[in-house]
Amino acid sequence: MNDPAIRLQVDAEDGNARAGTLFTRRGEIETPVFMPVGTAGSVKGIRFEELEDHDLDARIILGNTYHLWLRPGIETIRAAGGLHRFIGWDRALLTDSGGFQVWSLGALRKISEEGTEFRSHVDGSLRFLSPEVSMDVQAAMGSDIVMVFDECAPGQAPLEEARQSMELTARWARRSRVRFDALQQEENADAGRKPEERLSGRQALFGIVQGAAHLDLRRESLQRTMEIDFDGYAIGGLSVGEGKKVMWEVVGEIAPLMPASRPRYLMGVGTPEDLLEAVSHGVDMFDCVLPTRNGRTGQAFTSRGKLNIKNARWTTDTRPLDESCRCSVCRRHSRAFLRHLYLTGEMLASILLTHHNLAFFLDTMRRVRQSIRSGDFPTFRREFTERLRANGG
Amino acid sequence: MNDPAIRLQVDAEDGNARAGTLFTRRGEIETPVFMPVGTAGSVKGIRFEELEDHDLDARIILGNTYHLWLRPGIETIRAAGGLHRFIGWDRALLTDSGGFQVWSLGALRKISEEGTEFRSHVDGSLRFLSPEVSMDVQAAMGSDIVMVFDECAPGQAPLEEARQSMELTARWARRSRVRFDALQQEENADAGRKPEERLSGRQALFGIVQGAAHLDLRRESLQRTMEIDFDGYAIGGLSVGEGKKVMWEVVGEIAPLMPASRPRYLMGVGTPEDLLEAVSHGVDMFDCVLPTRNGRTGQAFTSRGKLNIKNARWTTDTRPLDESCRCSVCRRHSRAFLRHLYLTGEMLASILLTHHNLAFFLDTMRRVRQSIRSGDFPTFRREFTERLRANGG
């Protein structure tokens, strides 16, 4: 019982940036790490074999409690023996709590002290999500990293509204912790239990810092979250309309104050530039739908900026998406072919662009880690950012 | 100039069924062979790496002249250095002539002695396809196997209509041959030239037997096609509403009469049962959209018959699609997960079902070849067919 559920080993630091290894019950994860988003149990447009292959080598992916709880439902996942076995993925899984996605439903949900009532987008049925339900669901899924059930305030929420939301989050965090701890004592609650050397094999639980754009609320939220004590700490409630300037004020203030011995996770962020900025403040973990979603709409991320594959200028362009990229798509296919696939509505366009985009994000993080280890992260970041501005050329 | 463009070596015979090796300028193809259909330059839902991988190991795929000619257009393909280089596929490619697809447009096309005028489904422009244009386009694409430009009659076409259509096809076959031969003399017409040991490196040209359901017309069509002399012979104009009984009468009559030293190709057919029936009459080559199209609509082909993945009975079924299948999808994923992916509209459902279906078709052909080589094709066929009737269970 004294073994931790997860353990971060910081291997190198460069300013506030840090490179390390996160030991989980389902393998080691080098940090800073980007986690592809597998909303409903699938990272859209890509097979698990490719996520594992050296091109990508994603060590951890994210699943959405909200989506999976509604469909296929927890009974189905439990019948399969947990989410890993249901989807066929034996590496680490982080699940969010459903809090953010229920909050995103806007007028369709009603928040009370007890939890959040909402109508399912799948069948219109009335559902209720609370800290306890979220912990139950994440245990039944057997996620390796569980997120507390939190409440998000709008990016521009005024002080009083943001304070109330932050305080509700703090109370829900405590309730999440209590229920989570109880579930970890039960024999069969956690479907993903898998003892590893020097790890308990239990689930890890991360707290979430809220407080909108108000730095004093953010600091208080961090303090109250740390008092509860979690295996890792996340910054939530950003990328929700507050603007980049505010986001970096919050991250720049809060990330360095988070416990150095625990992983720090910036939720739902962001572009390649965003990842580098956040890393410079000491963030270790990221997730974002950008590489997959933009892949499906014909946008490629490249070392020279974004590239719109629909553009007529690529009609006969035999170059790969990114001449600096070594991924299987760039080794094989031209912009001209990818454009053709996109224009004819071939599924393969989404498949290939998604693969390349994920390869670019994951390779960028690999290079970030190397640069921190060799002590030249600032130089790497400056050169990387300058190239991005070349804009697709 | 005396080297052939393609060469069939018959390795074993069992009744009319035969197993052999087709030597092409882009590799060896064991026959009987199933060719996945890559309509617009992509076999829908699957990456080229997977087509090459041992699970599938597709040695030849098919491209559609009609689709590729309209989009991206021949200038774009020529600019890339031919279709192989445009799409990134270095194995063998067969292209149809566009004849069948233009014919399928029905009221939207006008057929004359010279060729067929039609409106493009892409931009509504008026286009004209003829034997000469089709040969020009297929040369510019650099296909390894070129099909003559033919005219198809409806499955139930009465004798006189079918005769006129068959005679037009015969005249078009001769014009195709003349233009094709002229193009092969030109230095840069064929974008795919690639000399191989004991092969000319030139394109191969296949003739097509027409004549609807009329056996005497079919025999006459075969005779007139053989007189022109082609590298291979196809049976066209089947699977167009004539019914299975008629189809097998035609195939059973015509296939054994086709030159034994040349590959025999049954166009657009069919189900696994159809493939085995046709093989029993001596057919060597097949193409069909069934495995890919049905994969996208949630239907799996298995050794125990078709399986509809939408069916509620699979909700918590942890078995693979086909317990006898060794493909990467069956090794990893359950029916329950595939059903979930399909119901949530995840692209991965189509990707995985397509992969499995192609694996099933290609593996079936592998087993067909083995059974012919070991002289027990009839037994294999009987057992295979009996299992299919078990119906998904």
For residue range B166-225, what is the model confidence (pLDDT) as tens digits? 999 999 999 999 999 999 999 999 999 998 888 999 999 999 999 999 999 999 999 999
- Main-chain dihedrals φ then ψ at residue A151, nearest 5 degrees: -120, 135
pLDDT value at B113 more than 70: yes
Least confident of A78-87, A187-196, B69-78, B327-336: A187-196
The two counts, helices (H) then strands (E), for chain A are 15, 16
Contacts of A160 (CB under 8 A, 6+ apart): none
Shortest distance, CA B337 to any CA of chain A (angstroms): 6
Q: Is A129 within 8 Å of A102 (Cβ atoms)? A: yes
Contacts of A24 (CB under 8 A, 6+ apart): A6, A60, A92, A144, A145, A196, A199, A204
Please indicate whether residue A53 is annotated as part of the active site: no
Indicate the SS3 state at residue A162: helix
Indicate the SS3 state at residue A165: helix
**Cα–Cα distance for residue pair A143/A72, rounded to 1 Å:** 16
| Mean pLDDT, residues B130-155 | 96
Which pLDDT value is given to residue A239? Answer: 87
**Cα–Cα distance for residue pair B77/B91, rounded to 1 Å:** 17
Least confident of A31-35, B67-71, B154-158: B154-158
Q: Which residues of B touch A80 (CB under 8 A)?
A: 316, 318, 334, 336-337
Q: In this structure, how many other beta carbons lie within 10 angstroms of the beta carbon of residue B311?
A: 13
Question: Which pair of tokens denotes residue A382?
Answer: 């400056």
pLDDT value at B377 more than 50: yes
Which pLDDT value is given to residue B391? Answer: 64
Q: Is A100 on the interface with B (CB under 8 A)?
A: no
| Mean pLDDT, residues A248-265 | 98
Cα pseudo-dihedral B383, B386, B392, B393, rounded to 10: -90
| Mean pLDDT, residues B19-27 | 98
Q: What angle do CA B256, B262, B266 make, to 5 degrees?
A: 60
**Cα–Cα distance for residue pair B172/A219, rounded to 1 Å:** 81
pLDDT value at B241 more than 60: yes
Contact B348 A46 (CB under 8 A): yes
Please indicate whether residue B90 is annotated as part of the active site: no
| Helix (H) or strand (E) segment spanning residue A184 | helix A159-185
Q: Is A305 on the interface with B (CB under 8 A)?
A: no
Q: Is B130 within 8 Å of B215 (Cβ atoms)? A: no
Q: Is B53 on the interface with A (CB under 8 A)?
A: no
Q: Is B190 within 8 Å of B137 (Cβ atoms)? A: no
pLDDT value at B393 more than 50: no
**Cα–Cα distance for residue pair A7/A261, rounded to 1 Å:** 8
- Main-chain dihedrals φ then ψ at residue A204, nearest 5 degrees: -100, 145
Which pLDDT value is given to residue A1? Answer: 53
pLDDT value at B392 more than 70: no
From first CA to last CA, the distance across chain A in angstroms is 56
Average pLDDT, chain A: 96
For residue range B84-94, what is the model confidence (pLDDT) as tens digits? 999 999 999 99
pLDDT value at B144 more than 60: yes
Average pLDDT, chain B: 96
Hey, of A37, A39, A42, A335, which one would you mutate to test binding to chain B, going by the most B CBs within 10 A of its CB? A42
Question: Which pair of tokens denotes residue B87?
Answer: 């799409």
Q: Which residues of B touch A48 (CB under 8 A)?
A: 332
ipTM over 0.90: yes
Which pLDDT value is given to residue A391? Answer: 64
Contact A333 B88 (CB under 8 A): yes
Indicate the SS3 state at residue B343: helix
| Helix (H) or strand (E) segment spanning residue A286 | strand A285-287
Q: Is B289 on the interface with A (CB under 8 A)?
A: no
Q: Which residues of B touch A350 (CB under 8 A)?
A: 347
Which pLDDT value is given to residue B2? Answer: 72
Contact A40 B340 (CB under 8 A): yes
Which pLDDT value is given to residue A105? Answer: 86
Indicate the SS3 state at residue A173: helix
